[in-house]
Amino acid sequence: MTKIIGLTGGIGSGKTTIANHFMTAGIPVYIADDEARKIMQSAAIIEEIQKTFGSAIFENGILNRQRLAEIVFNNPDKLKLLNGIVHPAVKKHFDNWILKYKDSPFVIYEAAILFESGSYKNCDKIITVTAPLESRIQRVIQRDNTTRENVLKRINMQWDDNQRIAKSDFIVENIDSKITESEVDEILKILKNS
């Protein structure tokens, strides 16, 4: 049976860079956040979001993700409500996706909130990506064209590195790209041989 290797880390830690490295090595990778974004555009999910959060977060019938983010990242209860709508749909999507890779020894399931969502329970091994806080903040500010305050709010809604590390099998410190690549290659070797 195909093993599920969870890949997680705080916002801006460089999970996507690591995921891309696995993809380049020919390993199937499921990026939960990307899939959640697509799923949030489906009629059924849009309807649920509108019922739960009202029509103020829509512009011309289109979900304003920025407005929704402002609501949920300022209110843990609202974030729980949104996750309760999106996570079951992502799980169902992943369960269908993995069927295509039943001959692969393992796949990578990349998710920022692997632990917070409970998805880690479905993983055979877990890789946590860490990076210095300041590097993470700068990466997200550049990537999302947002403010330091917004990044810190999102960081504070997630588990901290120590919590993730305590439940992980592998840790990748994403500071120097060459060292990071060799750490990932080492993990890849271990996974292929287990």
12 annotated to bind ligand: yes
d(CA 183, CA 78): 37
d(CA 141, CA 93): 30
9 annotated to bind ligand: no
Per DSSP, what are the bridge partners of residue 7?
A: 110, 127
d(CA 162, CA 173): 13
d(CA 80, CA 2): 30
16 annotated to bind ligand: yes
Q: Taking Cα atoms as reference points, which of 166, 4, 177, 185 lies closest to residue 97?
A: 4
The widest CA-to-CA distance across the chain, in whole angstroms, is 53
130 annotated to bind ligand: no
102 annotated to bind ligand: no
CB of 19 closer than 8 Å to CB of 31: yes
Q: Which residue has the tokens 């909130």?
A: 113
17 annotated to bind ligand: yes
* Token couple for 49: 């979001």
The one-character DSSP state at 158 is S
Q: Which residue type is seen at 128? A: T
Q: Which residues are annotated as a binding site?
A: 12-17
Q: Which residues are annotated as a binding site for ATP?
A: 12-17
